[in-house]
Amino acid sequence: MIYKILLLGVVMLSLGCAKDSSAKIVDIPEASGIDYCTNSNTLVVANDEGWYYEISLDGRILTKYKIKGDLEGVVCEDETFLFAVENKGLLKVNRKTKKKKFISIDMEYNGKNIKLISKNNGIEGITKVGELYYLSKQSKKKKDSLIAIVKIHNNKAKIVDIIKPEVADVAGLTYYKETFYMVSDKKDKVIKYNLDKRKIEKKIDLPKSAQEGIAFDTKGFFYIANDEGSILKYSQELLDKEKK
């Protein structure tokens, strides 16, 4: 009888774990951006107070460092971190020496000033696709949403294309297995976006939180930078329950 009760308990616990596809792996105040570092198998997290953290995939804080600015997103490269600083632009930081270099952004595109950075709105998300960087602009309404595609040369960024995704408050971006993903802080969703067709393909519901960034590791787990103060890890199972 005791054996049956124990067995039932194990089965129920297993079912419960399978149902819960997410877990908080670490507390980081005002986490606003995240990216996966391929060469070190780590995550880099930016926060609104100007701190960035490098953490293990199970949430151990390996290093943390303070720089000036409201950091809203980050791209991890072999030797540098590239941060989106909300109302200033882009900041490159050497991973070893911590040496910083500001990258100015030319706001002109097709003869118009895009106003990617303004008094009330700034850059909210960043990711890299090939040799180009994608920067999302803060927007309260989906009609105002904008992603600028920029090319960086000699520490200057030039807008080469514009995307209008029609998603309110695109707070985080990432590119994984030839698929472009966005997170919206207002909608609690991961959004799959087709870059070639310039349209939304799928929307995946997330548990309610303040999504500010998204990143995938090589095993398909994805991580959400939660502005409420944590990093959340989700299994691939959640993406299998997609909605159009």
CA dist 126 and 44 (Å) reads 13
- Quick one: pLDDT band at residue 126, thresholds 50, 70, 90? very high
The three-point CA angle 56-61-65 to 5° equals: 120
What is the set of domains in the chain, with CATH numbers?
A: 28-238 (2.120.10.30)
More confident residue, 230 or 10: 230
Stretch (H or E) spanning 12:
helix 2-19
Contacts of residue 116, defined as CB under 8 A and 6 or more positions apart, other chains included, come to: 105, 107, 122, 123, 135, 137, 146, 148, 159
Binning pLDDT at 50, 70 and 90, where does residue 22 land?
low
pLDDT at residue 151 above 50?
Answer: yes
Written as six digits, the tokens of 111 are 């003869």
What is the model's pTM? 0.89
- 216 in Cβ contact with 222 (< 8 Å): yes
Residue-wise pLDDT tens digits, 74-111: 999 999 999 999 989 999 999 999 999 999 999 999 99
